[in-house]
Amino acid sequence: MVSSQEVRKVEVPENVKKRLSIPFEENFFAGHTACQGCGASLGLRYVLKAYGKKTILAIPACCSTIIAGPWPYSAINANLFHTAFETTGAVISGIEAALKARGYRVKGEDGIMVVGWAGDGGTADIGLQALSGFLERGHDAVYIMYDNEAYMNTGIQRSSSTPYGAWTTNTPGGKRHFVEKTHKKKVIDIVIAHKIPYAATASIAFPEDFIRKLKKAQKMPGPSFIQLFAPCPTGWRAPTDKSIEIARLAVQTAYFPLFEYENGRYRINMPSTKKEPKPIEEFLKLQGRFKYMTKDDIQKLQEWVLKEWEELKKKAEVFG
């Protein structure tokens, strides 16, 4: 094993660095306090690789508050602004406005990147209103929702992004089969309803695709939104060395397809375009959170996944 500090010491020729599809630059350091196998921390690392230290990050109360480190420490080599749970959209609006008032170029290739980095609870639930305001007003900033499908920081409670059939601490199964009874909220559809220039899904299993989308979001004027699939081994009751595999299977089963919405056009990205979706069981079986699912539950989830997948394909066909 090589630590990230040691990696940074490795001499890599400049011409090689330039050709790397994932930037060599490191602005998220070892010593952070994420759980083993944390998808969110990997995602944050990629964000800071893509945008560099000229980034101003706003993070609401969530796992990443802890991950970044308590005072007086910080694992993040960029401006970091901690804010209240539901305010990410509003705070990045304020930061963007202030930077513009100070005469800075915001967004664009050489602009300062103002980035909201919030979980699914902080985005799809309590932060939805502020998100909507941010999108609707057209601020030049990027909002990234790292989707670990529950309130993980408070101890694994369901959010509107939790999938059907999942165990969480407040959908505990039990004798009455009290598991999550509603399907995952399609936040990105709500985002797209704002007709912003750019929205995309991404996954930590496909970092090159994620980096490409971050770079595209940087170039696009106005608000951009990326929903990043970020497994949480702790909350998903999964082995810590399976995060990438689970994230990959989420894409391969079409449970979490990769796509982009760009100026009104939908495009499904590799590898979601490649093959017919794998059965949903392959995604489910690696995770303890789905252990209470009956055959009927699995069938119901499978049907939902395929229905949503067909709908997305139709959108890509009609608005491609």
Partner 1 sequence: MPMKKVLKGNEAAAWAAKLAKPKVIAAFPITPSTLVPEKISEFVANGELDAEFIKVESEHSAISACVGAAAAGVRTFTATASQGLALMHEILFIAAGMRLPIVMAIGNRALSAPINIWNDWQDTISERDTGWIQFYAENNQEALDLILIAFKVAEDERVLLPAMTGFDAFILTHTVEPVEIPDQELVDEFLGEYKPKHAYLDPKRPITQGTLAFPAHYMEARYKVWEAMENAREVIKEVFEEFERKFGRRYQMVEEYRTDDAEIIMITMGSLAGTLKDFVDRKREEGVKVGAAKITVYRPFPIEEIRALAKKAKVLAILEKDVSFGSGGAVFADVARSLINEKEKPMILDFIIGLGGRDVTFKQLDEALSIAKKVIKEGVEKDIYWIGLREEIL
Contact residues for partner 1, defined by CB under 8 A: 53-54, 56, 58, 65-66, 68-72, 74, 76-84, 86-87, 89-95, 97-102, 104, 112, 129-130, 132-133, 136-137
DSSP state at residue 29: -
CA dihedral 162, 163, 169, 170 (to 10 degrees): 80
Shortest Å distance, C-beta 100 to partner 1: 6
- Cα separation, 246 vs 122, whole angstroms: 23
What distances in angstroms separate CA 59 from CA 89, 143, 144, 205, 222, one per listed residue? 10, 10, 10, 23, 20
Cα 176–Cα 178–Cα 180 angle in degrees, nearest 5: 160
Q: Is the peptide bond before 72 cis (omega within 30 degrees of 0)?
A: yes
User: How many Cβ atoms are within 10 Å of 194's Cβ, its own excluded?
Assistant: 18
| Closer by beta carbon to partner 1, 112 or else 150 | 112
Residue of 177, 155, 145 lying closest to 164 (CA atoms): 177
Closest by CA position to 305, among listed 260, 251, 226: 251
Q: How far is the CB of 162 from partner 1 (least distance, A)?
A: 25
Give min distance, CB of 281 to partner 1, in A. Answer: 40
- If the CB atoms of residues 10 and 101 are measured against partner 1, the closer one turns out to be 101
Beta carbon nearer to partner 1, 72 or 264: 72
Q: Provide, rounded to whole angstroms, the least separation between the CB of residue 130 and partner 1.
A: 5
CA neighbor of 28 nearest in space, from 11, 10, 3:
3
Would you say 104 or 304 has its CB closer to partner 1? 104
Q: What's the closest the beta carbon of residue 307 comes to partner 1, in angstroms?
A: 32
Q: In terms of CB distance, is 27 or 201 closer to partner 1?
A: 27
Residue 37 or 127: which CB sits closer to partner 1? 127
**Closer by beta carbon to partner 1, 99 or else 249:** 99
Q: How far is the CB of 148 from partner 1 (least distance, A)?
A: 19
Q: Which residue has the tokens 């995770």?
A: 287
Query: At its nearest, how many Å lie between partner 1 and the CB of residue 259?
Result: 27
